Structure 1
């Protein structure tokens, strides 16, 4: 994959500080090289300097490049703080000793967070390794004005979803803006299909244990998925999610399964009010629509930060409602994790997203966060891409995935 930004390497020293010496500069490895949310971070870092006296020296890297190089980066000479994710992705690096705990920070920010958010920030050893900053749901998004013009109604069941897709196709609209050049967007569709067909518990076990990939339950997910392919964007394998979201804005497509964190950066300004969303439809009535994919983004600390005192001051600020409120004011594609944020200032999509998340019985983190990083991207991205290109080969694909999963989990961490 061609990198859209610099390689992930440390951006340099921490202003001459070391260990806990209390220097004034903290280096920050960020996966936000694109204009937004980069601009939102710039604003927050400026506010952080006023509030704490700490200057943040960011190392901007393209999102995909960041993820692909994170392991070697953390084993080298990483920045003091870096963007990362809750769930297995956080726990994996904590377990490898490639991150230091942030227990002292949590002594300050703890009252601002729910027990559920605290749990998302801990590793199995009982220590905190993440300061959560924002989160967002994956849902089915659409243009409200297009739907009003066409008289479309929100589907709640699979049959209604397929019927709507057929109607859209008949109206000359691409029913589902599915684009998968980057590989990871399709993971969200798999997660929802699996949770809707087999339930949340089965899905999480599948992600975390590496077992049962070559089973009728998982095959059923891909058999269901096959029904959607005729309604996908032509040439979807070579298109980015940005192209798919633009098709939604331009009313060339009717629906798109994506995260608010992504599509919210396309539906901006006056267009934000036109962005509607609904929960992925029910397939198995036993499980309904109770599970929602809601990835939590936040900050971790490298194993040996050069400015530990500065890191703690910075993260204690970023873990507050004012910092997150400022961020959301520039980047209204997420929801704050800390309590105390003025939700009346949320855009309508943010309010709809918050309602979807708070109404959920179970929250997943996304495939590449709920499972091991050495399984998600290297194994599942090519497996799903192969399925989408050759749906009839799912039996051999799942057999291969199962063998790789067993090998990876047998190797430990």
Structure 2
């Protein structure tokens, strides 16, 4: 779920919509400033302190989950946390001006480039002292994902979640459909679904970011994880035969993706899966937040993106979400204590009990409540040789917002892609970062 950085100006269209790191105009600044606030007080260590918390968890399930986490922290610490929830996409689009204005003490964010960028710009708080307390409760990989270019930590993970294909077990059983292990089998299955009058692959790209997941998987399956990383860093050229092969392969799938994708949000596409209008859906496991009917939720299953060419299914997209501190939030003990609480199994369990679509990251988290489905998701992450964050988190944000969103939306609409133009824009953007 992308302001942009760099030594260049960005306009509203350059923002990452739905995944974003955005620079916006004065109106956007005032909007976020109105729903934000400075440090409300120190305290914390002995209880009785207070802090503000800016959350992008505007969807019903994660909103309730963060409320449960905050409530558990307040009960344990005797601190008071004022939560200010903003629209998910809007929060991300306005994050740059938010951090430079009057940000809350703590806020929801993500691991990856966009975390490191704001750390490098000095707009967020160093939480290395928090990590000195919770570090042993995380894997080395999670610590690395929370570390800025200067070697200090700026992020505390809450959960991560794999991307893959989700489907309804009973629906597939009634049709005699089987999980595909290869790309050719995936295409053959999609053809059967289309013949049966079903949308084979639910797809939604109204917000711009969801299509990046399909690109990432095809790129990693065809060219390997390292190529994905190098392309995101522009160490590989966009106008190469390797990237061309990604889109040529995608064209085979495009025939089976929902033709109304550009008018749909991911939530709307999820409903098509739940209602058996679509056969499968490539998205993160947060998709299950949309299934409030327990019978439907219990019927959901998952399989990794099938192998295409190299590395089998070794690479998995499993973005990491968590909390950060604003620059002034780093001076607020209550805010620091809240992040430290997130680094405990107890804190993460308080969240997970409400939103079980994700996988807890703390080593001491009680996973006894995991369903077979949760365990399956967790195993996919645990067994992966390579874990990617997602294109808009791994790449230069301007590349994701200015270039990839319109390019992928145009590809979704027309099936054409101008790789020479992508390379020209990439050269300019990365040269100015």
**TM-score, normalization by structure 2:** 0.89
The answer to whether the 8 A contact 2:48-2:78 is kept is: no
C-alpha deviation, 1:15, in angstroms: 3.0
1:401 paired with 2:419, answer: no
| Alignment partners' CA distance in 2, 1:149 and 1:407 | 52
Match of 1:271, SS state, is helix
The answer to whether the 8 A contact 1:21-1:307 is kept is: no
1:173 paired with 2:201, answer: no
Equivalent residues in 2 for 1:239-388, closer than 5 Å? 239-266=264-291, 269-284=294-309, 286-305=310-329, 307-388=331-412
| Alignment partners' CA distance in 1, 2:212 and 2:293 | 25
The 1:372–1:163 alpha-carbon spacing in structure 2 relative to 1, beyond 3 Å, is same
Unaligned runs of 5+ in 2: 1-12, 19-27
1:104 paired with 2:129, answer: yes
Equivalent residues in 2 for 1:113-152, closer than 5 Å? 113-152=138-177
C-alpha deviation, 1:19, in angstroms: 12
The answer to whether the 8 A contact 1:54-1:314 is kept is: no
Match of 1:197, SS state, is helix
The 1:80–1:329 alpha-carbon spacing in structure 2 relative to 1, beyond 3 Å, is same
Match of 1:353, SS state, is helix
Equivalent residues in 2 for 1:67-106, closer than 5 Å? 67-106=92-131
The answer to whether the 8 A contact 2:49-2:333 is kept is: no
Number of residue-to-residue matches in the alignment: 407
| Alignment partners' CA distance in 2, 1:229 and 1:241 | 17
The answer to whether the 8 A contact 2:209-2:405 is kept is: yes
| Alignment-derived partner of residue 21 in structure 2 | none
Q: Deviations over 1:37-77 (max 9, x none)?
A: 10111111111011112211112111110111111111112
| Alignment partners' CA distance in 2, 1:43 and 1:323 | 9
Q: Deviations over 1:217-245 (max 9, x none)?
A: 11111111111111111311111111111
The answer to whether the 8 A contact 1:105-1:312 is kept is: yes
The 1:17–1:326 alpha-carbon spacing in structure 2 relative to 1, beyond 3 Å, is closer
The answer to whether the 8 A contact 1:90-1:130 is kept is: yes
| Alignment-derived partner of residue 54 in structure 1 | 79
C-alpha deviation, 1:268, in angstroms: 5.3
The answer to whether the 8 A contact 2:39-2:332 is kept is: no
Q: Which moved more, 1:63-72 or 1:205-214?
A: 205-214
The answer to whether the 8 A contact 1:138-1:293 is kept is: yes
1:209 aligns with one of 206, 213, 234: 234
C-alpha deviation, 1:385, in angstroms: 0.6
The answer to whether the 8 A contact 2:52-2:81 is kept is: yes
**TM-score, normalization by structure 1:** 0.94
RMSD over aligned CA atoms reads: 2.2
C-alpha deviation, 1:387, in angstroms: 1.4
| Alignment partners' CA distance in 1, 2:429 and 2:177 | 45
| Alignment-derived partner of residue 199 in structure 1 | 224
Q: Which moved more, 1:288-297 or 1:24-33?
A: 24-33
| Alignment partners' CA distance in 1, 2:64 and 2:347 | 14
C-alpha deviation, 1:307, in angstroms: 4.7
| Alignment-derived partner of residue 22 in structure 2 | none
The 1:278–1:68 alpha-carbon spacing in structure 2 relative to 1, beyond 3 Å, is same
